[in-house]
Copies of this chain bind each other. A is one copy, B any other.
Amino acid sequence: MTAKGPLSGITVVDLTRVLAGPYCTMMLADMGARVIKVEPPGLGDDSRQFGPFIQGRPCYFGSVNRGKESIALDLKSEADRAVFEKLLERADILTENFRPGVLERLGYGWEHLHERYPRLIYASTSGFGHAGPARDRPSYDMVIQGMSGMMSVTGPSGGEPCRVGISIADVGSGIFTAAAVNAALLHRERTGEASRVDIAMYDCLLAMLESTISRYTMAGEVGGRMGSRHPAIMPFEAFATADGHIVLACGNDKMFGLLARALGLPELIEDERFRRNELRVANREILHELIEERLRGDRTANWLAHFDAAGVPAGPINSIDEALSHPQVAARNMLISVTDPVLGPVQIAGTPLKFSTFEDPPTRRVAPDLDQDRRAILAELGLA
């Protein structure tokens, strides 16, 4: 295992900022690519300003830029443009998440770069994509969450629309971009041809809404907020117990049978109202009550042990600290360590991309300070 990952030997010149693009290039770095983050001089990536800060170190920036190098270049200065172009000569991929048109105005649009660097893959992540009437609209995660319908289905039944608790438009589009970049690398490896990848956050959230879309286009149902409930599966939601909540997720008749027996309610199995999932969905209020009445008789921890033994899919509603303390997190290396020059070792989330052919190191290179790798990069380019 000498290679660091399936993308070993691949170089990414990374103009991305904030979250969607940097999330993608973090994934590429995690898979072994060399990622050279090119930031504007002065403040660098906007997200360096997002708190919280510990002894001046930005937690947000650190969480999505590990494993990268940094050089500050002003793409409007001739000298820096020369450095940037030297980098492009050696790069396999250019990533960017500017508003469409920004790089074209700098002379670095796809058409131009493709002609000059025919093997360079060019990956863009933007709010609405590089085509269509909305292409020039400014966009951030929140705007896309609102416009795409994602907020309309997230939140309590009858209550306010809620943001998904993470920046799902940024993160989701970042992962889609990584998938597309890997496909483009494969295509180039097989044919020599470089692609331009054009990923839109709005497209990604529509695609992630999957059956919510077909429910509307095929059945005419406009989904709404349902708290913790699933629109098409029952029981698949949170229930109250004697001391809190428990999640049950019984997606088929067999699981429902196991649940009914584990609850001491085997008569539910033969009940005509609950014999199939679609009947359970149609009669969900009464079924919810019947299950919850029983669950209120004991504490969550006891029910979890009981359901575990019975093979019923169930779980608690954990806070972040509880989620991270599960022994599975250590076993899967999902908290890794980076060594911050000021703070020393700090933990951040690991990568979920696990390959039998590569190690999954428990430490990674800390996110770079702005321009930290200038000297080494310039030397490598023969410019220092």
- CB-defined A-B contacts under 8 Å, sample of 14: A6-B183, A59-B219, A60-B215, A154-B163, A154-B164, A156-B159, A167-B230, A175-B179, A178-B179, A182-B182, A186-B189, A197-B353, A206-B352, A213-B335
B145 lies within 8 A of A247 (CB) = yes
- Nearest to A216 among chain B residues (CB) is B320
Q: Which residue of B lies closest to A320 (CB)?
A: B149
Contacts of A207 in B (CB 8 A): 334, 349-352
| Interface flag for A200 (CB, 8 Å) | yes
Which of B154, B175, B216 meets A172, CB within 8 Å? B175
CB–CB A317/B216 < 8 A: no
Cβ of A186 to closest chain B Cβ, rounded Å: 5
Task: State which size class the interface on A falls in.
Answer: 35 or more
Instruction: Give the contacting residue for A52; candidates B137, B143, B213, B215; CB below 8 A.
Output: B215
Of B49, B163, B352, the contact of A203 (CB 8 Å cutoff): B352
- Segment with Cβ contacts to B, from A75-83, A220-228, A285-293: A220-228
Provide the A185-223 mask, 1 if CB < 8 A to any CB of B, else 0.
111011001111111101110111111111111110111
Chain B nearest CB from A131 CB (Å) reads 6
Contacts of A362 in B (CB 8 A): none
Q: Is A322 part of the contact surface with B, judged by Cβ < 8 Å? A: yes
A7 to B182, CA, bound (A): 11
Q: Interface 1/0s, chain A 344-376, versus B by CB < 8 A? A: 001111111111111000000000000000000
Instruction: Give a binary string over A125-153; 1 marks a CB under 8 Å from any B CB, 0 the rest.
Output: 00011011111011111111111111111
Residues of B within 8 A of A7 (CB): 183, 186
Chain B residues with CB under 8 Å of A354's CB are 129, 180, 197-200, 203
Chain B residues with CB below 8 A from A331, complex form: 131-134
Q: How far is the CA of A334 from the CA of B132 in the complex (A)?
A: 11
Interface-side segment among A101-109, A233-241, A263-271: A233-241
Q: Inside 8 A of A193's CB, which chain B residues have their CB? A: 357
Cβ of A58 to closest chain B Cβ, rounded Å: 9
